Amino acid sequence: MNANEHDRRLEEVAAYAIGALDPGQVAELERHLAGCGRCQEELRWLSPAVRALPEAVERQAPPPELRRRLMAEVRSDAAAEEERGGAAETRGARGEERREPARSHVGLGEWLRGLNVGGLTWKPLAGLALVVLAIAGGIGYAVGNGGGSGGAHTTEVEPGANGIAAKVVTEDDRGELHLAGVKPLPQGRVLEAWVERDGIVEAVPALFAPDQAGRASTTIESMKDVTAVMVTREPAGGSDKPTAKPIVEVPIET
């Protein structure tokens, strides 16, 4: 790439930083960014300028009524959730069905259709995790289930073509996902984990990123009824639904 071409790239980096790059050019620039230290450095350098822009707007006092409305909705939400939680515990004690997940979720089929890997007939969940594994291409495969000591249970996935190994350690109801061999993420990308329960894919709230050694970990607060744990690369801030194919998937034996 000559100097003029690189100047053009740097102009695109500025537009990307402020969110004004034309949508058709974003993917191409992100590919370039992944392998260009100079452009990554430019993006890192410009980002504080963009983050500072909203701090400079004319201050307007929000109306007190807005705060009251907002907090009324939040408290009503919290109360309803508490009530549902209590009811679910009661149902659970009686052996009845569990409540629906509270977080936003997406059906696995919907996810796959959204990723243009449709054209296949998806069966409801039995073995579906492995189907996802196959279509994702290059991701690891499960090699061990049931390892561990004491109350812990470990499921490991060997490195696939993309070199990523994964391990899920479940203890009581809590899970720890550990990845190794993860390449550095392009600027503006983050790792997001997803769990699958009854054919529904839910986001794991905490986003994460690999360290310099390519290791990345996150916690899954509840492993109850989870049949697979997946990880995708998502835009900074995370996504409500997966927007990319998984880089790794760990089928969980239930």
Partner 1 sequence: MPWIGRRDAEAFEVFYDRHGGAAYSLAYRILGERGAAEDCIQEAFISIWRTGGRFDPTRGSVRSWTLSIVRNRAIDVLRSRAGKAPKLTFDDEEILESRPSGELTEEEAMRHETATEVRGALSQLPDEQSKVIQLAYFGGFSQSEIAAMLSLPLGTVKGRMRLGLEKIRGELAEGPA
Site for partner 1, rule CB under 8 A: 8, 10-15, 17-23, 45-63, 66-67, 69-71, 73-75, 77-78, 81, 103-104, 190, 192, 203, 205-209, 221, 236-238, 240
Q: For residues 126 and 228, give the distance between their C-alpha atoms in angstroms, rounded to a whole number.
A: 11
Residue 44 or 98: the one with the smaller Cβ distance to partner 1 is 44
Q: For residues 72 and 62, give the distance between their C-alpha atoms in angstroms, rounded to a whole number.
A: 16
Residue 56 or 93: the one with the smaller Cβ distance to partner 1 is 56
CB of 226 to partner 1, least distance (A): 17
Distance of CA 66 to the CA centre of its chain: 31
Which ranges of 94-163 does DSSP label H, i.e. alpha helix?
108-114, 128-136
Check: CB of residue 166 under 8 Å from CB of residue 214. Answer: no
Residue 119 or 237: the one with the smaller Cβ distance to partner 1 is 237
Residue 130 or 207: the one with the smaller Cβ distance to partner 1 is 207
Q: Is the dihedral of CA 198, 201, 203, 209 positive or negative?
A: positive
CB of 27 to partner 1, least distance (A): 15
Token pair listed for 122: 């998806």
CB of 163 to partner 1, least distance (A): 22
> Of 97, 107, 110, 117, which Cα lies nearest the Cα of 199?
107
CB of 79 to partner 1, least distance (A): 9
Residue 14 or 125: the one with the smaller Cβ distance to partner 1 is 14
Token pair listed for 207: 């986003």
Residue 14 or 88: the one with the smaller Cβ distance to partner 1 is 14
CB of 21 to partner 1, least distance (A): 7
One-letter amino acid at 92 equals G
Q: For residues 160 and 216, give the distance between their C-alpha atoms in angstroms, rounded to a whole number.
A: 16
CB of 153 to partner 1, least distance (A): 23
